């Protein structure tokens, strides 16, 4: 069984969302800035970013 200290340690080990997937986020943001979300041109970049974030345990 996990103890409260185990849960606290797991939370401390998890990186902050702002600190991971920076290249994917930058590519996604740049694409959205110049093309807009409605264009559909950035769907692949959005999917890459979401997959990267999920790899770190974040649900986007």
19 carries a ligand binding annotation: yes
Q: Which helix (H) or strand (E) holds 52?
A: helix 43-55
Contact 9, 45 (CB under 8 A): no
Q: How far is Cα 38 from Cα 59, in angstroms, rounded to an integer?
A: 22
18 carries a ligand binding annotation: yes
Bind-site residues: 18-19
Bind-site residues for Cu cation: 18-19
């Amino acid at each position: 069984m996990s103890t409260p200290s185990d849960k606290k340690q797991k939370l401390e080990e998890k990186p902050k969302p702002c600190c991971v997937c920076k290249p994917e986020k930058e590519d996604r943001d740049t694409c959205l800035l110049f093309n807009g979300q409605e264009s559909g041109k950035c769907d692949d970049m959005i999917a890459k970013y979401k997959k990267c974030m999920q790899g770190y345990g974040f649900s986007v």
